[in-house]
Amino acid sequence: MKPYKTPAIPASEITPKTLFYARRKFMRNAGGAALTALLPQSLWAAGPFGDLKKSPYAVEEELTPRKAITSYNNFYEFGTGKEDPAANAGVLKTRPWTVSVEGEVNKPKVFDIDDILKMAPLEERIYRLRCVEAWSMVVPWLGFSLAELLKRAEPTGNAKYVEFVSLYDPAQMPGQKSAVLDWPYREGLRIDEAMHPLTLLTLGLYGDVLPNQNGAPVRIVMPWKYGFKSAKSIVGIRLLEKQPTTSWMKAGPNEYGFYANVNPDVDHPRWSQTKERRIGEFLKRKTLMFNGYADEVAPLYASMDLQKYF
Ligand SMILES: Nc1nc2c(c(=O)[nH]1)N[C@H]1C(S)=C(S)[C@@H](COP(=O)(O)O)O[C@H]1N2
Ligand SMILES: [Mo]
């Protein structure tokens, strides 16, 4: 992994949104509590999403600049370099787009992306994202709990796991011509993890639709797990009785476990997970258990050996 430098922001990028963040920071420095409540929505939601429901799950941390979130990515379908997705994902056609929900459900469904967008009120969720490569970001996502979508398909009593399948289309995704991963990208969760309200079906960031390099038109975001669990550009969700094998488990079974909970006490075989570099910062910070979401999610793993189920 190459060291990351925050790109300088050109004058053309100084938009109302940028001003908004400057103001937000100023207010925090001035000691203002409940700062989001004081801010005009109009500056925040300069994108197509006017009414954003306030989320109880947003962390109050300085946001990673939009420029960094959209130019330093992992999206191997578009290449393995951090700058490849921003350079190559522009061609991805995100309409028409459907997401099928199938398997152990009473009502299998194929949802159109434009219906998903209207399915539930969009919330802004400011989440930490911790990559397994020991860097992190703070991202203002837009979306709603995945449970909202899953419940419409009525999972059966046999639905113990959920599998996410990303788009397979080598004509649009040049990275799929290489066998670096077993395509299509597949990820998975236990059903209780998938139904947890923190699990976000994500449709946008920074008040706008998802940029292609961040997984347009729809992706998952799992804030307490390493970033690779947050599958991008998904076209299928399968409810299963048995635990699926994910693309990363196939690529490196000793390195990428099924659970992949952020855990500073369990090293990756090739590096420590005790610290992380917040993109844009110089000094490393300590990695938090479950990426700081232990109060919410530790009960899901109460009886599990987290060294074994890494
Ligand atoms: N389909 C797909 N989803 C993916 C990946 C990928 O290569 N392909 N990379 C993952 C990894 S390793 C990370 S860290 C996050 C990065 O998300 P971001 O680029 O929006 O920050 O996406 C995850 N989702
Ligand atoms: Mo990652």
**Running along the chain, 310 residues long, what does each successive block of 10 average in pLDDT?**
40 39 39 41 57 86 96 98 98 98 98 97 96 98 97 98 99 98 98 98 96 98 98 99 98 97 98 98 97 98 97
Query: Domain map of the chain by residue range?
Result: 11-301
Residue 163: burial class (beta carbons within 10 Å; 0-12, 13-18, 19+): buried
Report pLDDT for 41: 40
Distance, CA of 248 to CA of 166 (rounded, Å):
13
Binding-site entries for Mo-molybdopterin:
73, 76-77, 131, 166, 214, 219, 230-232
Whole-number Å distance, alpha carbon 228 to ligand 2 midpoint, is 5
Return the ligand number nearest the Cα of 232.
1
Kindly report the protein residue whose alpha carbon is nearest to atom 20 of ligand 1: 214
Q: Return the CATH fold of 11-301.
A: Sulfite Oxidase; Chain A, domain 2 (3.90.420)
Instruction: From residue 217, give the alpha-carbon distance in Å to each of 27, 166, 176, 181, 291.
Output: 33, 11, 19, 22, 25
Distance, CA of 148 to CA of 194 (rounded, Å):
11
Q: Tell me the torsion sign for CA atoms 241, 226, 230, 53.
A: positive
Any ligand 1 atom below 6 A from CB of 231: yes
Whole-number Å distance, alpha carbon 66 to ligand 1 midpoint, is 16
Report pLDDT for 292: 98
Distance, CA of 104 to CA of 127 (rounded, Å):
30
Any ligand 1 atom below 6 A from CB of 230: yes
Task: Give the predicted TM-score (pTM) of the model.
Answer: 0.88
Whole-number Å distance, alpha carbon 196 to ligand 1 midpoint, is 20
